[in-house]
Amino acid sequence: MGRRVAILGTGLIGGSIGLGLAAGRLGPDIVGYDPDARAAAIARKRGAVGSVAGSAAEAVTGAAMVIVCMPVDLMPASFASLEERVPPDAVVTDVGSAKGGVVRAGESAFGARFVGGHPMAGSERHGAAAADGRLFEAASWILTPTARTSSSAYASVTEVVSALGATAVALDPEVHDDLVARVSHLPQLAASALVDLAVGTGSRKELLGLAGAGFRDVTRIAASNPDLWVAIIKSNPHAVLDGLVRLEDRLRSLRHSLAGERWGELRSFLEAARSARLELFAKPEFGGHPIGLSMLVPDRPGVLAEVTTAAGELGANIEDLRIVHSTEGGRGRLELVVAGEASATRLVERLRALGYRAEKEQVS
């Protein structure tokens, strides 16, 4: 990138982004801001930011990209306050773990140059002191393009995501919120509930003597920052409530199986969960030789979101993307680079089913 990047919020995620960018090939001029001056000073000392601004407005001045890493419930108000401060050609993205309201607020303030994001990586530790430049390596980084999203803004954010070692995956904002409630928000509440249940059944000394690696693994995230989690769940309450209802149903079914001594039902439940767990984490390989895809697309809102969401649903990693606009005919050429022959073939088939004339070619 070689230009100025503003990181608003220099805790675990913001600090890790800064460290990763500073160490990578992009090497931008990174300025940070955090309302906690101590956190900003730690980030500066560790090299996560090259300089510290006295305000968010000062930090975004002259920035080519703004990465918002503050608590998710503070983002909408922050976007509104920065609407007139962020340079008109700057790309804005965020790392919030709830996307529906954030994307609406981001697009209201910044229009097509806002790209919602959520890196699926973190730690029960928090703060700039816990930042790690390799935190995002091999992780998925959800991006949530909509009908308004600029292709150039999306490409700029995917460049940063790739530089940090992560894989960009496109999802609709509402789909993201539903899925992440199940795999992130609900597990946080469940882990905390298990700890609360355990400490109420005996002394801590006895508990530590009995707690094995399984209990420690399952409850590790219960040590996370409670203020952070209240903010996250406040921003995604409907999906979390729906997940809690579904979890209650499953626990009630288990209780009935145990009360009725229906051990076959219990075994079937455990076996199905075991198989699903093994399949879930047999992750597809995103690597492979780069394959170029090219297609003519109409000049209308929503094309980029349609294509990138199709790629995300198939697990196809888009490593590069651009649209070459035509001067006539209301059409342009969309060019993608996808990792792996198999992923490219599946994506071409899906795009053709959607009505696009997609072709692929080897990239040297």
Give the domain CATH number at 228. Answer: 1.10.3660.10
Say if CB 305 and CB 147 are below 8 A apart.
yes
Comparing CA positions, the residue from 122, 70, 126, 121 lying closest to residue 96 is 70
pLDDT of residue 186: 95
Pair (127, 162) in one structural domain: yes
Sign of CA dihedral 223, 227, 232, 237: positive
User: What is the pLDDT averaged over residues 147-165?
Assistant: 91
Pair (243, 146) in one structural domain: no
Pair (16, 147) in one structural domain: yes
Res. 174: pLDDT tops 60? yes
User: What is the pLDDT averaged over residues 305-311?
Assistant: 84
User: What is the pLDDT averaged over residues 2-20?
Assistant: 93
Percentage of residues in the chain having pLDDT higher than 70: 89
pLDDT of residue 224: 86
Pair (159, 90) in one structural domain: yes
User: What is the pLDDT averaged over residues 133-147?
Assistant: 91
Q: Higher-confidence residue: 149 or 201? A: 149
Comparing CA positions, the residue from 123, 161, 32 lying closest to residue 153 is 161
Range of weakest confidence among 253-257, 288-292, 324-328 = 324-328
Report if residue 238 sits inside a domain: yes
Beta bridge pairs of residue 170? 143
pLDDT of residue 51: 96
Res. 132: pLDDT tops 50? yes
How many domains does the chain contain in total? 3
Pair (85, 110) in one structural domain: yes
Most confident of 197-201, 220-224, 256-260: 256-260
Pair (165, 187) in one structural domain: no
Range of weakest confidence among 13-22, 114-123, 248-257, 296-305 = 296-305
Residues sharing a CB contact under 8 Å with residue 268, sequence separation 6 or more, in sequence order: none
pTM more than 0.85: no
Rounded CA-CA distance 233/236 in Å is 5
- Residue at which a domain ends, from 155, 172, 189: 172
**CATH code where residue 78 lies:** 3.40.50.720
Pair (11, 136) in one structural domain: yes
Report if residue 285 sits inside a domain: no
**CATH code where residue 319 lies:** 3.30.70.260
Report if residue 307 sits inside a domain: yes
Task: Please report which confidence band the pLDDT of residue 327 belongs to, taking 50, 70 and 90 as the band edges.
Answer: very low
Residues sharing a CB contact under 8 Å with residue 202, sequence separation 6 or more, in sequence order: none
Res. 36: pLDDT tops 80? yes
Pair (166, 77) in one structural domain: yes
Pair (106, 127) in one structural domain: yes
Q: Strand, helix or coil at 220?
A: helix
Residues sharing a CB contact under 8 Å with residue 60, sequence separation 6 or more, in sequence order: 6, 8, 66, 82, 85, 86, 87, 90
Report if residue 96 sits inside a domain: yes
Task: Please report which confidence band the pLDDT of residue 362 belongs to, taking 50, 70 and 90 as the band edges.
Answer: low
Pair (261, 317) in one structural domain: no
For the chain, the first-to-last Cα distance in angstroms comes to 22
- Residue at which a domain ends, from 149, 172, 195: 172
Pair (267, 192) in one structural domain: yes
Report if residue 159 sits inside a domain: yes
Q: Higher-confidence residue: 364 or 178? A: 178
Comparing CA positions, the residue from 10, 44, 158, 34 lying closest to residue 91 is 158
Say if CB 109 and CB 80 are below 8 A apart.
yes
pLDDT of residue 121: 87
Res. 147: pLDDT tops 50? yes
pLDDT of residue 217: 82
Report if residue 329 sits inside a domain: yes
Res. 2: pLDDT tops 70? no
Rounded CA-CA distance 34/145 in Å is 27
- Residue at which a domain ends, from 172, 199, 218: 172
pLDDT of residue 328: 45
Report if residue 28 sits inside a domain: yes
Res. 364: pLDDT tops 60? no
Most confident of 98-102, 202-206, 208-212, 354-358: 98-102
Q: Could you tell me the residue range of the domain that residue 303 belongs to?
A: 290-362
Report if residue 321 sits inside a domain: yes
User: What is the pLDDT averaged over residues 339-350?
Assistant: 88
> What secondary structure, in 3-state letters, does 146-197 show?
CCCCCHHHHHHHHHHHHHCCCEEEECCHHHHHHHHHHHHHHHHHHHHHHHHH
Sign of CA dihedral 22, 26, 27, 31: negative
Pair (100, 220) in one structural domain: no
Mean residue pLDDT across the chain: 87
